Amino acid sequence: MKRHAIDGLYAVTPDELDTAELLRKSRAVLQGGARILQYRNKLASAGLRLDQAQALRRLTREYGAIFIVNDETALALETDADGVHLGTDDGDISAARSLLGKGKLIGASCYNRAPLAIEAVQQGADYVAFGAFFPSSVKPGAVKAEIDMLRRARCEITLPIVAIGGITVHNGAALVEAGADALAVISGLWNAPDIEQAARGFSNLFQQGRPA
């Protein structure tokens, strides 16, 4: 089940302090076909993060979507999230596994470094993420990942691969064609004039862009 869990549009929430607005936009994203929703909010207090994560957990259950918490394994555990996503500074994969148990998903950011992904796989990650593939307004200083690196990694890694960083409906097809199982999107969704329509556009890339 885990091998196929991370697939399609992987929506990552913005730094939204208004919980009602966050839920409204998240519902539109899920209506548009997002398969995974990651809660990420770098501006919220601990109490607000808990409230928002609990509300999003209920919403994702309503849509049958996977709910991932960014960075915080303890918050993922407290809200019964489906998993946690960790950067290199967010804790050890094995420690997260011990806390969450075997049934939860653990993702690892590997930036533009395939050896990090191999190490994450060995440590028990369920999926890996590479990026930024394109200039990102969320992380303007992010290291740049090349599409050729994604193609090479696809040949070496059997776990799901998530691509992130400045992804739009127009440039995302090349990443799907190169082997990305999922596209993680922030600005391209939440800043769109019609969020549901934008989500549907990203979701459609996986019908159009899979390699034969």
Q: Helix crossing, 169-178 with 195-208: angle to 10°?
A: 30
- From the candidates 26, 35, 57, 109, give the one annotated as an active-site residue: 109
- From the candidates 139, 144, 152, 154, give the one annotated as an active-site residue: 139
Q: Which long-range contacts (CB under 8 A, 24 or more apart) does 55-59 make?
A: 55/19, 55/22, 55/23, 56/13, 56/22, 56/23, 56/26, 57/81, 59/23, 59/26, 59/27, 59/30
Residue 168's H or E segment, with its range, is none
Candidates 45, 125, 36; CA nearest to 81 is: 36
Whether 203 is a known active-site residue: answer: no
DSSP label of 70: E
- From the candidates 25, 35, 40, 49, give the one annotated as an active-site residue: 40
Whether 35 is a known active-site residue: answer: no
Whether 40 is a known active-site residue: answer: yes
Where in the sequence numbering do the catalytic residues fall?
40, 109, 139
